[in-house]
Amino acid sequence: MGAGRFVAAVSTALLVARLLLEATPQQPAPAPPPAPLPMPMPAILKAYPAVTADRLLHPRDDEWLMIRRTYDGWGYSPLDQITPANVARLRPLWVFATGAVNGHEAPPLVNGGVMFVSTPGNQVIAVEVKTGRLLWRYRRPLPEDAVVMHPTTRGVALYGDKVYLPANEGVLVALDARTGKEVWTTNVGENQHGYYMTLAPLVAEGVVMIGASGGEFGIRGFVAAFDAETGKQVWKTYTVPAPGEPGSDTWPKGDQWKTGGAPVWVTGNYDPETRLAYWGTGNGGPWMGDQRPGDNLYTASTVALDVKTGQIRGHFQYHPNDSWDWDEVSPPILVDYQRDGRTVKGLINVARNGYLWFLQRSGGPISFVQGMPYVKQTVFRGLDPKTGRPDVDPDKKPATGKKAENICPSHWGGKNWPPISYSPKTRMIYIPANENLCDWLTGIEVDYEPGERYMGAQSGLSLAAGADHVGEVQAWHVDTGRRVWTHNYATSINWGGMLVTAGGLVFSGGTNDRKLHAFDAATGKLLWEFPTNSGILAPPSSFTIDGTQYIAIQSGWGIDSRLVQGRLNALTGGAYPEVPEGGAIWVFAVQ
Amino acid sequence: MLKRAGGLVLAWLTPLDASAQGDQSARPARGDVLVRVGDATATPLTPADVTGTAVVMAWPATPAGVVRSGSRLNRLVLVRLDPASLAERSRPHAAEGVMAYSAVCTHTGCEVGAFLADEQVLYCDCHESKFDPRDQGRVIGGPAPRNLPALPLTLVDGRLTVAGAFTARPGFEQG
């Protein structure tokens, strides 16, 4: 067909079509299949208030907008309606089954009367707090070949009209808080190479910051920041330096840095004054330090990151050349404390290595003030009084082909990831500790294979001689650096995040009897307990609805608490039986 | 019974082209051979390569030599057992006592990479799930919600050869 004839043919066809349109009445289009009736948006979601930067910086006393409520990481509620005098009348208002199993580790966040929780299985649930009514549910099925050794979530972040969920397979998801629909997704890490995500994001200065798990898969850890509106990456800072970067001289000459670990799997805290975010890093990869000689910055450290640029402005390493799988992922809390008659702009960290650390923060460098064991610690012979660097007993340091025994605390630590809390009223920190748990470790040779475990270690749990308990709640005064009270759990580990309130109460689960506990914050007296559906790992939160103070918690045992429970059951001949699993949200108020 | 490939050494490397990439990720198929994980020569395994004390980690490979390492759901754990100890339902799936199972734990997907010889169990040290390799990977301990899928084996020219599809979907359960 010639070009001219083609044009003519098309013109004719168009003309005919036009004539037909003008000449004949339009037939009704075939009816499309009936669409599901759009559910009218509940009024509470229509009225959903935006979470502004200012609200995150200065939350009202009755709000719980971030996993630890405030940027300093205190896990403190200024509400004081529930007190030691009335806590005995605390009763559940409603309970909501999440439909998920395994460890539920996310605190409920509340904004505008809407509660947001995340659960295992990449699920976010929005519930009307007052009624317990489901508003929406988001689920993102995991890829069938996903690499997720610890399939949990430690929470979401709220900002603007969005909810941010780091999906396990290494994808950051932004949801519309009103509908639960995806607004954008961004790939953060290569899951087939062992990068996975379980932490809540930290939102500050318009960016969403997250890190990745994978310390058992030879990842190279990082913290990355994404534009809160678009999901575009703003910066990415590795927690293991490449050759030539600051800190690279603490690694051997070879390729060990590429698989050096230092994963980031607990949310950092933020200092608005210096605009630094404090993040904790995990174990080195593989587990045995002799396979990567050197201090191995920034494994087992706190790093201070400039939120604008991601630049590392300061760091503190809790133990060099980690060989014990002591992830120091919990960030220090920001507390100004008294020492020797002066006020220290402080950082306080309860480390997995069994030491309690009092540090000093600045616009950059982090300096050592004081450190002391809070549980039995058999590995450090002491700390350098100036730098805090531990003097490691070589007999207690395992290596490839070398077994070290009676390592206390065990590789699960004196405290694992569950966060401490701090009350400015009592000036005490509250620690979920595990005493008397020790282990042995032997290094074995291991080859790196992307996405497969890269630990190179065998281990076994043991109880310290004469151990009469494991789980503890400890209270330490920040100005004296002394322990004030301890509550021992006779037959349980403690795997529960902490909440302390201005009403003078410490709330925490953590035990294998499925209970939520309330303690007198001043004295440690156990005032109230309630057995839930499963064991509680997540930290509680507190807020008001219509002027009434609520306590909210997710219950759902699993992940490593289950594993330690099983090993203790074997060690004790059946004293630590299985804990029922399956998740639920609980909301309590005084009746 | 055993037809040995008498001294035959298979120099068996075939360069991969684009068309082979689909085969790399596809589940194992009848007629595939097995090769040791990390074996650059991709030499087909025989029952003699699998001892009774330790597992062998393996990939299936097509008869044309394409190793199916493109999906970790193809990763296999091989274990050698006393044929007389096998449950009746597992006997047709064994080749000279060698059983092949998915190495992806049905709990959270960690590698099932150990054989506890004294207990005769396959073991995942992430969360301590235990599976009975003599009886179709039956869960006998730990949090795994379902059995470890078996990959039926037979012997062809002395080589461990896939005789059929996985007995169930390999992989873990959604939370």
Confidence of residue B125 (pLDDT cuts 50, 70, 90): confident
User: What's the whole-number average pLDDT of chain A?
Assistant: 94
- Which chain A residues in 269-308 lie under 8 Å from chain B, judged by CB atoms? none
Indicate whether B110 pLDDT > 70: yes
Indicate whether B13 pLDDT > 50: no
CA distance A150 to B108: 8
With CA atoms as reference, report the closest residue to A76 among A465, A498, A482.
A498
CA distance A101 to B143: 11
Q: What is the pLDDT of residue B173?
A: 80
CA distance B173 to B175: 6
Q: What is the pLDDT of residue A301?
A: 98
Q: What is the pLDDT of residue B174?
A: 72
- In chain B, which residues have their Cβ closer than 8 Å to the Cβ of A451? 72
Indicate whether A8 pLDDT > 60: no
State which amino acid sits at residue A225. A
Write out pLDDT tens, residues B130-143. Answer: 999 999 999 999 88
Query: What residues form DSSP beta bridges with A162?
Result: A159, A176
Instruction: Decide if A149 and B171 are in contact by the 8 Å CB cutoff.
Output: no
Confirm if A516 and A553 have CB atoms less than 8 A apart: yes
Indicate whether A227 pLDDT > 80: yes
Q: What is the pLDDT of residue A18?
A: 47
For chain B, list the domains and their CATH numbers: 21-162 (2.102.10.10)
**Mutation site for A-interface testing, chosen from B108, B111, B146, B172 by largest number of A Cβ within 10 Å:** B108
Confirm if A172 and A183 have CB atoms less than 8 A apart: no
CA distance B171 to B72: 9
Indicate whether A9 pLDDT > 80: no
% of residues, chain A, pLDDT over 70: 94
CA distance A316 to A301: 5
With CA atoms as reference, report the closest residue to A494 among A441, A420, A553, A545.
A420
DSSP assignment of A224-273, as one string? EEEETTT--EEEEEESSPPTTSTTGGGS-SSSGGGG-B----S--EEETT
Write out pLDDT tens, residues B58-96. Answer: 999 999 999 999 999 999 999 999 999 999 999 999 999
DSSP assignment of A350-363, as one string? E-TTSEEEEEE--S
Conformational region of residue A319, where left means phi above 0, alpha means psi within -120 to 50, and beta covers everything else: beta
- In chain B, which residues have their Cβ closer than 8 Å to the Cβ of A147? 72, 109
CA distance A26 to A28: 6
Indicate whether B10 pLDDT > 70: no
- In chain A, which residues have their Cβ closer than 8 Å to the Cβ of B109? 145-149
Instruction: Decide the pairing of beta strands A269-271 and A276-280.
Output: antiparallel
Q: What is the pLDDT of residue A258?
A: 98
Give A294's contacts (C-beta < 8 A, 6+ positions apart). Answer: A249, A250, A251, A252, A320, A321
CB contact A578 to B (< 8 Å): no
Write out pLDDT tens, residues A492-540. Answer: 999 999 999 999 999 999 999 999 999 999 999 999 999 999 999 999 9
CB contact B38 to A (< 8 Å): yes
ipTM over 0.90: no
Indicate whether A282 pLDDT > 50: yes
- Which chain A residues in 426-485 lie under 8 Å from chain B, judged by CB atoms? 447, 449, 451-453
Indicate whether A44 pLDDT > 50: yes
Indicate whether A270 pLDDT > 70: yes
- In chain A, which residues have their Cβ closer than 8 Å to the Cβ of B108? 102, 148-151
Name the residues of A annotated as catalytic: 325
Write out pLDDT tens, residues A24-42. Answer: 444 555 566 666 666 789 9
CB contact B175 to A (< 8 Å): yes
CB contact B113 to A (< 8 Å): yes
Query: What count of CB pairs under 8 Å joins A to B?
Result: 56
% of residues, chain A, pLDDT over 90: 92
**Mutation site for B-interface testing, chosen from A117, A125, A145 by largest number of B Cβ within 10 Å:** A145
Q: What is the pLDDT of residue B12?
A: 43
Indicate whether B115 pLDDT > 50: yes
Write out pLDDT tens, residues A425-483. Answer: 999 999 999 999 999 999 999 999 999 999 999 999 999 999 999 999 999 999 999 99
User: Chain B: residue nearest A147 by CA?
Assistant: B109
Indicate whether A223 pLDDT > 70: yes
Query: What residues form DSSP beta bridges with A91?
Result: A589
With CA atoms as reference, report the closest residue to A561 among A473, A496, A475, A479.
A496
Cis peptide before A298 (omega within 30 of 0): yes
Q: What is the pLDDT of residue B22?
A: 79
Cα dist. A16→A10, A25, A74, A114, B167 in Å?
Answer: 10, 15, 75, 58, 62
Indicate whether B7 pLDDT > 60: no
Mean pLDDT on A206-215: 98
DSSP assignment of B37-65, as one string? TT-TT-PBP-GGGS-SSS-EEEEEE-TTS
Query: What residues form DSSP beta bridges with A271?
Result: A276
